[in-house]
Amino acid sequence: KHTYKSISKPPSHKNFFIMASAGGNLPLVKVFFRWDCAGVKKDEEVRVVGASEALGNWLPACAVPMHRDSVEEACWTSKGVFLPLGHKTQYKYVVCKQNNGEVVRWEELEGNREVIPTGRRLVAEDDDGLYRDVTIAPSFARRRNTTAGSEAAPSPMAAPSDAPSGSVPMPRLESFQNQVKEKEIPIDKDDHIFAIFRTLPVRLKKNKDEWVVEEDGDEITFKVVSMMYRSIPKGANIKFVGHPGVFVSDPVEQRKIAKLLAPFGCIPVWIDEQVFNNTLNFCHTFLWPVMHNMKVFEEDGKPNQDGEQSLSFEEAQWKDYQVFNRAYAEALEGEMVQGSIFWIHDFYLLLVPRALKLRRPDANIGLFLHSAFPMSEVMRCIPTREEILQSMLSCKVVTFQIFEYARHFLSCCQLILNSTYYFYGAGVLYVEHESESVVVRADHFVLPFADFVTRVEVPRVKTMAADLRKQFGNKLIFVSIDGDEPFSGLILKLRAFQKFLRDCPQHVHRVGLLQHVLVRKTGEPSELMKEIRRMADEINKEFSMEGEVTVDIRVGDVSVDERIAILKSADIFLDTSINDGLNLHPFLFCVAHQPEESGAMIVSEFSGCSSVLIGSTKVNPWNTQAVMDAMHTVVTTDEAEKSRRFKQDHSYVVTQKLCDFVASNLAEIKTAAARFMGPVRGLGAGFSMHFMERGFRHLSFEAVCYDYKKAKIRAIFVDNEGTLAPDRRNVIQPYGAGANALTNNGQAPDPQVLESLQSLAADRANVVMVISGRPKDTMDSWFGSVKELGLCAEHGFYYVPPAKMTPGESGRRWHCISKDETKEDADWIEIARTYMEKYQKRVQGSVLECKGSAVTWNYRKVGAQMLANEIAQEMVRFMDPSNGPESLMYGYPVVVVNGKGYVEVKRSDVDKGVIVDRMLQEMRKQFGPIDFVLCIGDDRSDEDMFEIVNDFAKKEGKGSRSMLDDDGDDTAMECLASPTTVKSGWSSSGVARLTKKASLTLEEFNPADMSKSSQYYTVTVGRKPSQAGFFVKDVGEVSDVLQRLALQARVTNLSRFSSMPTLVHSEDGDSD
């Protein structure tokens, strides 16, 4: 029998009193212990004991029991233990008998372990991080605060108590990397995949009375859909969806054509010819220029003074665009199966994701945008901006050619839809919208190198290339292939080439320019083409001798073989586009020069390809002198250097495979669908790592009502803005609106919400509190009419307890959490206010707000949010007292919080969790055990409430579930998950929305299944990383659940128990 043998010296009572009482009123840190211990028998258990009352005061019988992991039997974890912040605490592990607590053996360690708690949560990982990936989520929480004193098997000799905080041994680093590594789910033959394009990859022709399907055969086209169609391996379960290129109105003939296309893996989409043409016109004349940041909108659409066609939004064409997109979703209705993957391409089909989502809410949808994407300044000008963005956010994955376009998309979502984006482990970027997570990524389209390179040696291609070279003689040929569009920068190119010949006369007669313009419109040449022709003639007249060609302008569409021949004949590729999605021709130039692996490229920095072709020379096409200098540099560079730079890009192009690109993008859609079904990890409040269970459980209204009905003592805590009422604090206000802008720019709850609160507060068994960051006056004006309601202002610094808890008081009176609410904080408030005023003056649109317990710099209304975020981070770094003596607020009892659109300096002992904890403790003291708690909030400040309620539930032994639950049973909550049946519901504001069914039907709900249900509910508004156990989708669902509970409260008040005394805990049956 082992006793205190391995403890160097058991602490005396005096020593214990000093250790246990040290720290006084220091804040507490929740500490979890984890230990690696094999060989523990079935009738034994591990306990952690130490010099703290929470750790049993060195008494094994009072120690904290640990739990064996169900998979890793050597892994033992404890529940959370509260220890003083920053105070060194000694502890040790001991193996005891389960039945009587008799000590079997102490861990073999000379001396005692030590831990110095920091942060709000800490894990003492005495297993070298070995079991981090199989245990509770807090092993990630606040990891940066883990001290060296909490490493595995520390001793005074091996790990001094003053070791630097946050040191991470290599095994832990490897474990962390393995934990966050992205696991891609590959595509297999069982996946049903639909690749949706504007047109099909095959052609339909009618021979006499029979339709015939024609494929490209050995011919290669430069159409993306055709290239992708050729890259799909045989036997893959991928179907292509698109318009067949013919207009057929007869249903019988449509079915005949569909049957004919089926063996080719194609599904036709039938569209009226006029709708089709109007849609293409809308896309080409309005939507496509907008995508490329063209911000010129005229009412009449007439040419402007520069001769360019201005943009005109045609409502009729927009409606045809909607009909066009719906046709694709309708064509797929009969093809959809569970788990189908829909991969939609380009801006012609931006509304298809929404149409599919309405028909199949669980659809796995991806969108690949081949064009550019506009900045928020341009997107805001589109009348239908919300419809376009919301449809794009109906996908699981949205992919852009380059990250710059993804950045524009994020800015638009944030500014126009007020959607928030986060980072998932392994660098995955996603947007939260309508309680859905949408991955945003960049992955440019690639050419099928293996297919194209075979065409380089085709005799016809060689002959065409030789003929072109012969035309220019021994000159160095600059070449370019561009479209007949203003974004190609054709005028800038000719202007720079002309200046090059004028300023560098030594290159005259030594260089030439071969420019091919892809003109798809027939009829009269555009003003742009007329100007190009004029400039080319001017250059030829100035610099060409008789029979010599300096600039050759060619017009018309060309095949792939002709493009390769044009590029093969030249020496230098020249691109001066002012806005281009990607431009595949530089990649094709590398293919055309595959045999000799020589050449040079000048590309515009505004083209997507410039970010991946690192060997090319980047230019600003608007800077004529810079373009001319680049031409001179490339022409005079020696062949060895040109070859070295070209091989950098050629080696990149060679490695690109279109089949890999297709497989990777489809796998990303499949992975994203699985990823956000859980488990999901992300940064929650305070930037600690949180986990969301599979599906992140939607709150079951029936379960809440059932538990509410059977409870005797109930507590309900709700946030205000973003929970009871929509958060309007992001509404743009005029600059200079004043310091009262924040207060005025808010929205009171709807009358039906106030009515529900009144009914709930009037119930004798309920304590209801609304907790907000708003000032006292605002809370009184919004909720003063609701009797019996408790209120909290400024995150709990001021509060009005519910009348039930203060029966001796007459009228409503505000209390303060501080005894001296003015003098105690005057010093640090003045410092923070003075410093933040400097930011308010320099950052246009920001607002400073001073409260009793906090000073807040709010920048929600600042237009440049990304820049404002960086400014906020700089402010936090300078003010945060945790950064040491150099920080502005060091030594003051405050914390600096960088929230969504604000930086706040507030008292460290004031948050929503503190007031909730005080109310719960007082309720238990006055009324006895609490049977039911409902806590609802929407932002970071509400996470403190969730944490307190979750911890309180564990102490009470109630069934609460959170994302950081320590030892709960997952199966216990399965009965609370809402079914996946879909219906169209209405929020309390009357706005239609498509949601998961919020509650169970009478047939589906079985009270017998509720034996393990939660009595304590923590609920966040919106699906996001949180400590809450459940989520509701929006403010409308919060209103719905409160109305249901209020109805139950009214029924209870009218029951035969209406004469019962106020808040008396009974052990009888249900109150009804």
Which of the 8 DSSP states describes residue 1042? H
Residue % of the chain over a pLDDT of 90: 34
Q: Which two tokens stand for residue 871?
A: 């400014």
pLDDT in tens, 57-81: 888 888 999 988 877 888 999 988 9
H or E stretch at 692 = strand 689-692
The rounded mean pLDDT for the chain is: 79
What is the widest separation between alpha-carbon atoms in the chain?
112
Single pTM value for the model = 0.63
Q: Which two tokens stand for residue 433?
A: 């919208």
Residue partners of 387: CB distance under 8 A and separation at least 6: 351, 354
Facing residues of 33 across strands?
A: 124
Residue % of the chain over a pLDDT of 70: 77
CA distance 996 to 983: 7
* Sign, Cα dihedral of 271, 272, 278, 280: positive
pLDDT mean over 138-166: 32
Residue partners of 823: CB distance under 8 A and separation at least 6: none
- Look at residue 570 and tell me whether its pLDDT is greater than 90: yes
Among candidates 820, 771, 763, which has minimal Cα distance to 794?
Answer: 771
Which of the 8 DSSP states describes residue 9? S
Residue partners of 675: CB distance under 8 A and separation at least 6: 424, 428, 437, 439
The DSSP secondary structure of 10-27, one letter per residue, reads PPPHHHHHHHHHTTTTPP
pLDDT recorded at residue 981: 30
CA distance 554 to 533: 10
Residue 895, classed as helix, strand or coil, is: strand
H or E stretch at 619 = strand 617-619
H or E stretch at 566 = helix 560-568
Residue 333, classed as helix, strand or coil, is: helix
CA distances (Å), 897 to each of 447, 483, 903, 906, 1014, in order?
48, 51, 6, 8, 32
pLDDT in tens, 758-780: 999 999 899 999 998 888 888 98
Dihedral-angle region of residue 752 (phi above 0 means left; psi in -120 to 50 means alpha; beta otherwise): alpha
First to last CA, the chain: 57
CA distance 1016 to 933: 4
Are the C-beta atoms of 438 and 430 separated by less than 8 Å?
A: yes
Are the C-beta atoms of 575 and 583 separated by less than 8 Å?
A: yes
- Look at residue 390 and tell me whether its pLDDT is greater than 50: yes
Sheet of 790-793: strand order equals: 815-816, 798-800, 790-793, 766-771, 714-719, 932-937, 1016-1021, 1030-1032
Facing residues of 437 across strands?
A: 432
CA distances (Å), 521 to each of 311, 485, 517, 603, in order?
18, 11, 12, 26
CA distances (Å), 319 to each of 231, 324, 325, 384, 627, in order?
35, 9, 10, 11, 43
pLDDT in tens, 287-337: 999 999 887 655 444 444 444 455 678 889 999 999 999 999 999 988 888
3-state helix, strand, coil in the chain (%, to 5): 40, 20, 40
- The per-residue b/e assignment along 940-963, b for 16 or more CB within 10 angstroms, e otherwise, is bbbbbbbbbbbbbbbebebbbbbb
Amino acid letter, 173: L
Are the C-beta atoms of 224 and 371 separated by less than 8 Å?
A: no
CB atoms within 10 A of CB 543: 20
- Look at residue 602 and tell me whether its pLDDT is greater than 90: yes
Q: How many residues appear in the chain?
A: 1072
pLDDT in tens, 988-997: 333 333 333 3
pLDDT recorded at residue 574: 96
- Tell me which residue has tokens 């004028």: 502
pLDDT in tens, 711-733: 989 999 999 888 888 765 544 33
Question: pLDDT class for 1013, splitting at 50, 70, 90?
Answer: very low
307-312 contacts, C-beta under 8 A, 24 or more apart: 307/527, 308/486, 308/527, 309/285, 311/285, 311/286, 312/285, 312/286
CA distances (Å), 283 to each of 277, 918, 991, in order?
10, 60, 30
CA distances (Å), 256 to each of 194, 248, 824, in order?
21, 11, 84
Are the C-beta atoms of 146 and 166 separated by less than 8 Å?
A: yes
pLDDT in tens, 206-252: 887 889 998 875 556 788 898 888 888 776 789 999 999 999 999 99
Higher pLDDT, 1009 or 892: 892
CA distance 697 to 29: 28
pLDDT in tens, 469-503: 999 989 999 999 998 888 899 999 999 999 999 99
